[in-house]
Amino acid sequence: MNIHRVKYKDIEEIPKLQVKKNFKQQFQGSAPAPFIGRFGYPHVNIGFLSPQFSGDTSYYDSPKLWSSGNFKSDQIASMRYGLVNSRQKWKVKDIHAGGNMLNIIQEVGMAKVPTELDVTLIKQPSLELKGESEITPWGPASGVQRARITSNTKVDHKVEKVVFDTDLKATGGMLKLYKKGFEEGVLSKLISVGNLGLKKNRKLVPTRWSITAADSTICKHLTQEVKDFPIGDYQLHFGGSWGNYYLLLYYPEVWGYELFETYLKAPVNPWSKQGYAYSTDHESYNGRKTYPVETAGGYFAAQLPVLEKMNQDKRQYRCIALRFITEEYKIPLGVWVCRESARKSANTKPLKFASEKLMLDYAREFVKTKFGFNLDVLLNESVLLKENKKQLKLTNF
C-alpha cells in the first residue's frame, strides 16, 4: 500500500479560489463573530464577520446547529463565503488603548446574539478566497473606514460577570463558563478578543489559536476528572459527517489518547501526489508536554467529545481515535468538523467486545469493507498499542 506520513503544516494551505459575487462598500449587517488574524503577529488584522444584511445571522457561525441540522458542506460554505471580514490593523497587546474598532470586536465577541452594525469600508470588497483548514472559511475582506453599533448589545449576565472580573485568570474564566453550559465556541471568541484573564495579561489572540486554546483547556480539565473514574470495557464507536469519519477504539486501561488522521485516496493538498497519507500524535496517562504538530488543532477538537462522553458515562478508557478523511470532504470547513464528527461518533451506541482481539478483528474488517483500507498500516504504528503489549509482558513476567 502506498502511504506516507505528513505533518499538518504540509496540508494547511488552501489555494485561492475566485468566486464572482457583488458586495457593497457601505452596508448594514449583523455580525455573529469576530475574527483576529495571525499573519504579521503581533501586528495583526482584527475585525468582525458579517453578511451584508441585518437579522438573525447566528446560523452563519454555529457548528452545533450545522451538525444537528445535518447541513451539507456546500450549504455551510455558501453561508460563510457571504461573510465580509471588515478589518483594521492592531497590535495584540494594545488591549487597553481603547478605540472604536477594538470596542466593536469585543462586544461582538461576547454578544449573546449577532451585533447589528452600520459599516463603511475603504473599498468595495471582492471575493478572493484564501483560508486555512483549521478556521471556518469566510468571504471577502476590506479595511474599515467607519463602523458603529446600531443597537444595544445583548450579553448573558454569566458571561458579563466573568468578562468584568479582571482578577480571574483566563483558564479559570473559561472553565467557569464551561461548567455553566457555555460551549467551546463562546469561550474561544472571548479569549480571541481579549475579554478573559487578569487585567495585566489580557491581549488579542488570533482566532486559530483561540480555538485550540479553548479545546485544550477543557480537555485538560476533563482529563483530570476522567482519571478518577473506574475503568470501562472494550468498546468501539463509529460515526461522522462531511466526509470525516471517526472510528473510536476504547480499551479497559488508564487514560491515554492517540489520534490517527488518514487521507483516503485523495491528495492532502492540491499539489501533492495521489495516494494515502496519515498524521498521528498521542499522549499517555501523564498527558502531552508539547504541541501536537502533526495533527494540530484536530487533536484536541476530536479529544474533547471523547472526554465529554467518558465524563458523562463516568468511565475511564484508553482511546485510539482513527479519523478517515474521504473524497467527500472537498471544501475545508475548519477544525469544528473534527469536533462535531468525533462527537457524532462518540455519541453512537457502542459495540462491546470481550477481548482486544475480537475488537480489532471487527475493526479491521469494518474499515476494509467501508474504506478499502488496511487498518494494520495504522495499528502497527500505534504507540499506545505498543505500550499495552509492553505492560502485558511485564504483568506476565
Sheet holding 244-251, edge to edge: 3-5, 276-283, 256-263, 318-325, 244-251, 234-241, 351-353
Calculate the average pLDDT of the chain: 91
pLDDT of residue 59: 95
115-121 and 141-149 beta bridge pairing:
antiparallel
Burial 211-240 (b: 16+ CB within 10 A, else e): bbbbbbbbbbbbbeebeeeeebebbbbbbb
Residue 397, pLDDT score: 41
With bands split at pLDDT 50, 70 and 90, how would you rate the model's confidence at 208? very high
Count Cα neighbours of 311 within 13 Å in the Cβ-side half-sphere: 15
Residues 75 and 122 in one domain: yes
Number of domains in the chain: 3
Do 177 and 186 contact (CB within 8 A), yes or no?
yes
> Does 348 lie in the same domain as 271?
yes
Q: Are residues 386 and 254 in the same domain?
A: yes
Helix (H) or strand (E) holding 33: strand 33-36
Domain containing residue 112: 8-149
Residues 130, 20 share a domain: yes
Last residue of a domain, one of 133, 149, 165: 149
pLDDT band for position 396 (cuts 50, 70, 90): very low
> How far apart (Å, rounded) are the C-alpha atoms in residues 339 and 360?
24
Looking at 100, 116, 149, the residue that finishes a domain is 149
Cis amide linkage into residue 42, ω under 30° from 0: yes
Q: Do 243 and 357 lie in a common domain?
A: yes
pLDDT of 104: 98
pTM of the model: 0.91
Domain end among 149, 180, 204: 149
- What per-residue confidence (pLDDT) applies to 289? 93
Question: Do residues 259 and 339 touch, judged by C-beta distance below 8 A?
Answer: no
Number of H helices, E strands in the chain: 12, 15
| Assigned domain for 2 exists | no
Q: Is the dihedral of CA 61, 67, 69, 72 positive or negative?
A: positive
Residues 312 and 352 in one domain: yes
Percent of the chain residues past pLDDT 90, beyond the cut: 82
Q: What is the pLDDT of residues 258-270, one digit of tens each?
A: 999 999 876 555 5
State the average pLDDT over residues 96-125: 96
Over residues 291-324, the pLDDT tens digits come to 999 999 999 999 999 999 999 999 999 999 999 9
Q: What's 328's DSSP letter?
A: T
Question: What span, in angstroms and rounded, lies between the C-alpha atoms of 203 and 294?
Answer: 27
Q: What is the pLDDT of residue 16?
A: 44
Backbone phi and psi for residue 6, each to the nearest 5 degrees, phi listed first? -130, 155
Report pLDDT for 14. Answer: 45
